[in-house]
Amino acid sequence: MAQTNSLSQQNVLQQTQVQTLSPQQVLTARLTELSVEALRQRVENECMENPWLEKKENIGDEADEYEDSISSPEEEGEVVYETPPYESTEDDNSSVYGSKDDIPAYQLYTHNGDNMPENIEYGDTQSFGDKLESQIYEFDLTSDQQLKLKYLIGSLSDDGLLHKPLYQIADELDIYQGLQTNEEEMEQLLHVLWQFEPLGVGARSVQECLLIQIRYDTDNPFQSLMERVIRDYYDDFLHKRWDHIEQRLHLSHLEMESLIENLLKLNPRPGTSLGESINHGSRQITPDFIAKTELDGSVSMTLNEEGVPELKISEDALDTLKSFDAKDVAKLSQAAQENLRFTRSYVDRGQMFINAMGQRKQNMISTMLAIIKLQKTYFRTGDETTLRPMKLEDISEITGLDISTISRVCNSKYVQTSYGIVRLRWFFSKATRQGDKEVSVRTIQAALQELVDNEDRNYPLSDDKLTGLLREQGFDIARRTVSKYREQMGIPVARMRK
């Protein structure tokens, strides 16, 4: 019996939902990410670029104060927020433009990455971290990878090197950003960072930093010799034992002089090459929030908008648009129609910016108040052992804001408390099960720090002994976990603490 094969083609209709952010939402998200310092510059740039956007006079002299009048969750159960919705203009543009052809190009952009107009040009006020982040979009990365790489950049030390282990950064991304990753993926992203300017940024040691600079200096005729020196004779290089290197490499005196000249051009601290630290450790921090604890235990919060003006649309622009309302646009001269389109486009752009600023303010206030609610004991006492486990999802449930919005608010933001200035993301920590209750990792770390602070410097405690003492305090914890927390806290091993 003959066997026959038949092929058939079938058309299948499948309905899928794709979420597309409007230009208004994208602008709000980007403004929410900015610190108060960067926001000032962003507003100044927008006012310079938009002729119909003006600053209101005598506004912003006094900041609004928001008092936390609702009891903490321990005292009153679930916290409920009733935040009035922010009124914004419609996104469809139909009420302003006669046809789609009249809509300016910037209004037609969709959220597909780097084609959104950003209009942020900081010039010399850009931080080193900002300049590194601007290079991210030169590489073919997904949006998640871009966020992870930004966090990796934010983890660099002042010298531009990476002193944190990659597994710790992966854990922090899970806690603070809600991004799932692992050490292998972070290693791949680190190799991407090594290609950024200045070369050597992201290296995990000075030796690795110098090797990265040599590896990408492909036009240098001494490249292979330089790599051999740093890789095989690094100790001789550090102590400038040039004669020993010259003999080992069988070089002439002139060749050695040229090699030394090239080696001394390498930069062991690439983070200082642009004149500004990455993590703001060497410059004054401007807090985005000010939380004040009163004697009666109540906490009031102020959003710091010092130097950020309130904006409005120019009356001249509004009058111009009104004068055209009663006229037949088709009968206008070409010059008049062009003037109308110009005015409409910049008025719309200005109104969208004002709406985004208002939504940013609401997002910032709601998020900070929610953090104060959940961590009210800390704001009352300043005792970090009282910090309760908290995730981005917890703040999202209270405020009704999306987790991505909470993440943007907490990224690179600071709050001035009665006990010092801290990062917002510092308040977030994982929970660990201890018996029948959950305890914040921060509580265990505080207990670990106290043990190390009080140890005999002549006989420092090993990880095994620290584990035993923590268990005596009621923390059921493994030795490898103690070692992990110790490394995260920057505490060296016992033999290095003598």
- Confidence band (pLDDT; 50, 70, 90) for 285? confident
Whole-number Å distance between alpha carbons of 286 and 21: 31
pLDDT of residue 23: 83
- Cβ neighbors of 39 (< 8 A, separation 6 or more) are 31, 305, 308
Best mean pLDDT range from 176-180, 387-391, 393-397, 427-431:
393-397
Residue 307 sits at φ, ψ, to 5 deg, of 85, -5
Q: How confident is the model at residue 67 (pLDDT cuts 50, 70, 90)?
A: low
Q: How confident is the model at residue 185 (pLDDT cuts 50, 70, 90)?
A: very high
The torsion defined by the Cα of 58, 63, 69 and 72, in degrees rounded to 10, comes to: 150
Q: What is the mean pLDDT of residues 399-416?
A: 89
Mean pLDDT, range 307-334, rounded to an integer: 79
pLDDT for the residue 433: 67
Collapsed DSSP state (helix, strand, coil) of residue 81: coil
3-class SS at 480? helix
Residue 239, Cβ density class (10 Å: 0-12 exposed, 13-18 middle, ≥19 buried): exposed
pLDDT recorded at residue 193: 92
- Is pLDDT above 80 for 250? yes
Residue 110's pLDDT band (cuts 50, 70, 90): very low
Given a cut of 90, whether residue 164 has pLDDT beyond it is no
Beta bridge partners of 423: 414
> How large a percentage of the chain has pLDDT more than 70?
76
**Has residue 123 got a pLDDT over 50?**
no
| 137-170 as b/e: b if 16+ CB within 10 A | eeeebeeebbbbbbbbbbbbebbbbbebebeebb
16-30, 172-186, 351-365: the lowest-pLDDT one: 16-30
Q: What is the per-residue pLDDT across 426-484, written as a single tens digit (0 to 9) for each?
A: 888 777 766 666 777 777 888 888 888 888 888 888 888 898 998 888 888 888 888 88
Both tokens of 469, joined, read 């003492």
Q: Which CATH class is domain 431-496?
A: mainly alpha
Give me the DSSP letters along 3-59: --------------------HHHHHHHHHHHS-HHHHHHHHHHHHHH-TTEEEPTT-
* CA diameter of the chain: 96
Percentage of the chain exceeding pLDDT 90: 18
Return d(Cα 363, Cα 28) in angstroms, integer.
10
pLDDT digits (tens, 9 = 90+) for 5-21: 555 555 656 655 545 56
Mean pLDDT of the chain: 77
pLDDT value at position 129? 75
CB 257 within 8 Å of CB 263 = no
> Stretch 62-87: mean pLDDT, rounded?
43
Q: Do the Cβ atoms of 223 and 233 come closer than 8 Å?
A: no
The reported pLDDT for the residue numbered 97 is: 35
E strands in 157-296 = 289-293
Residue 340 has pLDDT above 90, yes or no: no
Q: Which residues are bridge partners to 437 per DSSP?
A: 434
CA distance 410 to 106: 28
Indicate the domain borders of the chain.
Answer: 128-279, 289-425, 431-496
Rounded CA-CA distance 388/427 in Å is: 9
Cα-Cα end-to-end distance for the chain? 88
Residues 6+ apart with CB under 8 A from 161: 201, 202, 203, 204, 205, 206, 209, 269, 270, 271
Range in 60-64, 114-118, 383-387, 404-408 with the lowest mean pLDDT: 114-118
Q: Which pLDDT belongs to residue 80?
A: 34
